[in-house]
Structure 1
Amino acid sequence: MQSLHWVINTAPPFHILEGQYAGQGICDVLIDVLDDALPELATKRTVLPQTRIRQQFQRNENQCFPCMIYRPTPGETIQSEPTHFYAPHGIITTQEKAEQITQQHGNPVRLGSLVHDRNFRFGYPAGRHYPALHDILEQARQSHLNPVAHSGENATVAILSMIKKNRIDYTIEYQILQQFDHKTTDDSPLVFLEIAETQDQYVLGAIGCTNNAWGEAAIKHINRVLPQVQQHPDFLDVLDLWFTDKVGNQEYRQLLQQRVWHTTEDHP
């Protein structure tokens, strides 16, 4: 194996291609640090819509995507060891709609109740998947839920814009997207609400490569250097930039040690 082919999409704050924080997306920096740790491999990056990235995995094209949900059992992709973690998906909406949603569906929000409420329109970026919430959303789809799926470039940011313009009422996302919106816009701030069904859970992130011989070789290279990548100052700094809220009563870095590094020792 002589090279890595990274595929990325315009989905801040995972990848940020323009503006004040260009190049400071979580997975932009993860790729930077990995590339530096693997100087023997040539690398390139291709920007594609999320739906196209998935199609290429299904067609067995050689590529790696740095921002996947960790699954230990290979499917369309074979994955690295975990790189970091996320608090679970929640509801992002306006302050006004947040008050209405919590009055009717609780706080944390009972998603199984909200998705059956026809007074609130749900939208999401095409290609986005919610494994922990799949059964709830699928049941709602079978009855009446017809969510707005936005495809193409900048789909995640476009969904937030649609919420602000009252074209949809809420989306399901990680809190870091609300943080990105707060840091980069002067609009009325959006609100993040926890989901009752996944409260206190967490999601591991990982790098996924095509599930073939090329991908297996790529993951072996990545896993070999991952311990130093996980604790690289540049990667930790970008995690600090976007994971600014405490999770429960603990700082993100404390939980990172326990959940990803599997240690409670102090690290720089």
Structure 2
Amino acid sequence: MIRASTTLITGLLSALTLFSHPVAANKLEAQPAGPTTVVWSRTDFAPFFILEGQYANQGISDQIIRLFSRKISGFNHKPTVMSLKRMLRNAQSANPICHVALLKTPERETFIDYSQPIMQNYGNGIVTTEQGLSKFGLTPDSISQIHLEDYVGRPLTISIHDGRAYEPHINDVISQWKTQPESIFQVKTGLKDHERLVHLLVNGRLDGMIARPEEVEYSKQQFGINAPLFFIPIADTPTLSLGHVGCSKGDWNKPLMAEINRLIAEDPEVRQTINAAYRQWLPEHLRQHYDLIKNLSFSPPDHSR
């Protein structure tokens, strides 16, 4: 009986000590939430994101992420390399994630909030050399849009990327003609193939590539090729498209989106950085045109990449 009472008293004293000790009590208090960590996805899509080589981290979107990370407080900014598929999967799961220069599609808008447009960039067209221009009846001083369907039966070789979604009209022409016995379209499948085809293009063994002009110009600079390239717009497709910052939906992104939109509208350093970063990767003959349109209001229609 005495031993039981002693045990009970000892237990009560231990409990009183636990709850009266200031350090132990503090451990039970709820800790304040820290800043939200926002993942900035970096996908393998040069020159928007450049993941390796002599121009690593100098991509268009790479530079914009660094600028936003420096100017936007209240968040932990975490650039992370991943595929676009993984980025979209994280956004669908409502994880705090953003992507710079993401084009709008109706499907993406169901789980992604978009900023105001941050840039306008050229759509897909035919990238070729001065020799290749002549195959389309053009010269460096007379470049104008062409109707792709007018050339499908001619002795031309045009490279396209397997599985890539182009603008709807280009997709329609390709799907109708790429399996024909005398198709002008040559299908490429990967990055190594892309490097080979750029060399074929500048060596006159390929007449053109359907691509964005900055993609092929980046490859030219990356591989140390000096020959100038030219961009031929394709009729019935948008010449320009809009890029946005896209972030997964949720209350977490409201202060971030508000600050991004404010910087886009008010901060001249943001506009200057975006324009210079994009212009760097354009073929020389397009830079003058871009200088004329870069500060115009954003009005061209959106389309998916």
TM-score by length of 2: 0.64
1:26 equivalent to 2:60? Answer yes
- Indicate the SS of the match to 1:42: strand
Contact 1:86 1:203 in 2 (8 A): yes
Q: Post-superposition shift, 1:91? A: 1.1
Looking at structure 1, the residues matched to 162 and 232 of structure 2 have their Cα atoms a distance apart, in angstroms, of 19
In the TM superposition, 1:68-217 aligns within 5 A as: 68-69=102-103, 74-93=109-128, 97-102=132-137, 108-114=145-151, 120-124=157-161, 128-130=164-166, 133-138=167-172, 140-141=174-175, 144-145=178-179, 148=187, 150=189, 155=191, 158-165=193-200, 170-187=208-225, 189=227, 191-197=229-235, 201-215=239-253
Alpha-carbon distance change, 35 to 110 in structure 1, aligned in 2, over 3 angstroms: same
Say yes or no: does 1:222 pair with 2:256.
no
CA distance in 1 between partners of 2:104 and 2:290 (Å): 22
Between stretches 73-82 and 35-44, larger displacement belongs to: 73-82
Contact kept in structure 2, 1:93 and 1:191, CA below 8 Å? yes
Structure 1 residues 57 and 125: CA distance shift in structure 2, 3 A: farther
**Distance change (3 Å), C-alpha of 1:71 and 1:16:** same
- SS of the residue corresponding to residue 74 of structure 1 reads helix
One-letter identity of the residue aligned with 1:109: I
Write the distance in 2 (CA, Å) between the matches of 1:76 and 1:159. Answer: 32
CA 45–120 in structure 1, closer or farther in 2 if over 3 Å, else same = same
Opposite residue 134 of structure 1, the aligned amino acid is: P
Distance in 2, matches of 1:19 and 1:249, equals 28
After superposition, the Cα gap between the structure-2 partners of 1:55 and 1:111, relative to the gap in structure 1 and judged at 3 Å, is farther
Q: Counterpart of 2:260 in 1: which secondary structure?
A: helix
Greater length-normalized contact order (CA 8 Å, ≥ 6 residues apart): 1
How far residue 59 of structure 1 moved from its aligned partner, in angstroms, is: 5.1
Q: One-letter code of the match for 2:295?
A: Q
Mark the runs of 5 or more structure 2 residues left unpaired by the alignment.
1-34, 180-184, 300-305
How far has the Cα of 1:15 moved from its partner? 1.3
Partner AA of 1:120 in structure 2: T
Equivalenced residue count is: 251
Q: Percent identity at matched positions? A: 19
2:46 equivalent in structure 1: 12
Match of 2:74 in 1: 40
Deviation string for 1:241-261 (max 9, x for gaps)? Answer: 234646596552x42222359
CA distance in 1, matches of 2:275, 2:207: 34
Is the 1:102–1:108 contact (alpha carbons within 8 Å) kept by the matching residues of 2? no
* Bigger radius of gyration among the two: 2
Q: C-alpha displacement at 1:36, in angstroms? A: 0.9
In structure 1, stretches of 5+ residues that fail to align are: 262-268
